[in-house]
Amino acid sequence: MSEFFKQLIAQIAAVWQKLSLQQKIVTASLLVFTILALSGLIIWSQNGVKKETGFKVLYSNLGLDEAATITEQLQKSNYRYKLDNNGTAVLVDAKQLYEVRMALAREGLPRKHGLGYELFDKTNFGMTDYVQKLNARRALEGEIQRTIEGLDEVKSARVHIVIPEPTIFLDNQKDAKASVVVKYSTGQKLSKDQVRGITHLISSSVDGLKPENISVIDYEGKLLTSPFGENNTAMVSSHNMELQQNVEKYLENKANQFLANVLGPSKAFVKIACDLDFDKVEKNMEKYDPESRVVRSEERIDESVKNAPDGDNQKERSLTNYEIDKTVANIVQEVGNVKRLTISVAVDGRYELSEDGKTTEYVARTNEEIQNIEDIIKNAVGYDLTRGDQIVVSAVKFDNEYARNELLQMKKTERDRQIMDWIKYGLIAFIGIGFIAFLWYLANTVAKAMNPPVPAFERFGIEEPVEEVIPEDMRKSSEILERVEMLTREEPVNIASIIRQWLDEPVAGKRKKK
């Protein structure tokens, strides 16, 4: 093996000696570039591995007390950890992440926000009645808090319940009260129905707690429940206003969706003002029909008198009672009926290409199109002329300058991004082609150095030998000799006998001399 390396080093040294100064510089530069590239690749790969084997987030958004409990348990278990984000995030070794989570779960960490009925898992016989009631209220608050935090929109919550002491005097008995503070999840918000659901959840969980005695606020201090409290008149007015807004919004959405499907998006807008009847009317009606009579009872009396001074008398009296048809109606008209609708519709025109095909021209809607749109809206929202409903449909040119500028800006940004991508890809292709050309040049240089051309004789003052023309007889003699040589190799015995015969023959000169 050592002999192989010696020969390899000797060959490399021989090639290096054959290279010119320029070729040596190019080869050395390529070697240094390759070493740096490999070193960078190794360092990058090691950094990637280090990221995978570094610290990862175990839990985030922790309270300081909860973070302290978790870090204490990590210290007892000899796990490496780091604190981040002002102590609210705990990081552990990535390789031990899931192991640490299971170990903490066995210890009941991290604990859920609020203490529930686990307060009574340990019995304390020395606990006073006051402490027992206080723990019962704390447990109830913790259980309600956990339930509220189960909502996707709620990140955390705090619940406070006030339960007054019972008294034998009903006039002095106070109502229970509760307050809830909620913190939204990122990008989330509670709807009014969800707020009402939270209030009814709490009122159903606490004995004697009415929904109007519950306040729900967010972490910005905004009151989410009704602010009117026990003012029934204000609460009714607020409810009526909310009902009216919901009806208007429902009708507007239905009309706008219909027009968007017919004309296209953002080609028409509908606004509706709805007048609702909030008067609760109760009517009791009794109606008699004199034309409809039924005999209820009939009485007949016959009287006869005889031997009277004025002679015999006979009287007959009849009494008939009739029942007249009677209708009794109790009519209750509920609140929230639509009294009147006022509808306003703005319709954009059409935009057609000009003759040059570069710009667009606004074309207003025809009267027939406006009438068709009006009929469509009337049927969609339940238009009733007898109620005094009104509708106005106007063809106007929408100001789309802002949208047009935004569209042009988006197109420009997209075009610039494409140009940058082209430049980037072109630069990468140029670098790749240059690198390939560089490798080809280097390979060609090394090949020329290992196989140098034979130097010309003129450079040393020596004339190149000129190829001589061989005569025909010499060429034939050469061919004969080649054939004899071939036969000698193929049949050496026969050739040897022929040569022996030739040697035995007398020479012509010697014969004449004898």
**Do residues 390 and 406 both lie within one domain?**
no
In a domain, 251, yes or no: yes
pLDDT tens for 336-361 read 788 899 999 999 888 887 777 677 78
What one-character-per-residue DSSP string does 204-217 give? HHSTTEEEEEEEEE
Beta carbons of 387 and 338 less than 8 angstroms apart = yes
pLDDT of residue 511: 46
In a domain, 444, yes or no: no
CA distance 35 to 46: 16
Number of domains within the chain: 5
In a domain, 98, yes or no: yes
pLDDT tens for 42-56 read 675 555 444 445 788
pLDDT of residue 391: 92
Residues in the chain where the model's pLDDT stays below 70: 1-2, 4-5, 8, 23, 37-38, 40-42, 44-53, 111-114, 227-235, 305, 307-308, 311-312, 357, 442-443, 445-474, 505-514
**Do residues 328 and 369 both lie within one domain?**
no
Range of the domain at 101: 55-107
pTM tops 0.95, yes or no: no
CA distances from 18 to 11, 83, 451 (A): 11, 63, 9
**Do residues 262 and 386 both lie within one domain?**
yes
Give, as one character, the DSSP assignment of residue 54. Answer: S
**Do residues 182 and 71 both lie within one domain?**
no
Q: Quote the crossing angle between the two packed helices 401-450 and 2-18, to the nearest 10°.
A: 100
CA distances from 70 to 54, 81, 88 (A): 20, 10, 11
Edge to edge, the sheet with strand 89-93 lists 55-59, 89-93, 81-84
CA distance 507 to 499: 14
pLDDT of residue 1: 52
Residue 363: give its domain's CATH number.
3.30.70
Give the list of residues 6+ apart from residue 12 with CB closer than 8 angstroms, or none. Answer: none
CA distance 207 to 212: 14
Backbone angles phi, psi at 216, to 5 degrees: -125, 125
| Radius of gyration for the alpha carbons in the chain, expressed in angstroms and rounded | 56
**Do residues 92 and 152 both lie within one domain?**
no
CA distance 122 to 28: 79
**Do residues 304 and 372 both lie within one domain?**
no
**Do residues 67 and 86 both lie within one domain?**
yes
CA distance 355 to 245: 47
**Do residues 324 and 362 both lie within one domain?**
no
Backbone angles phi, psi at 218, to 5 degrees: -100, 180
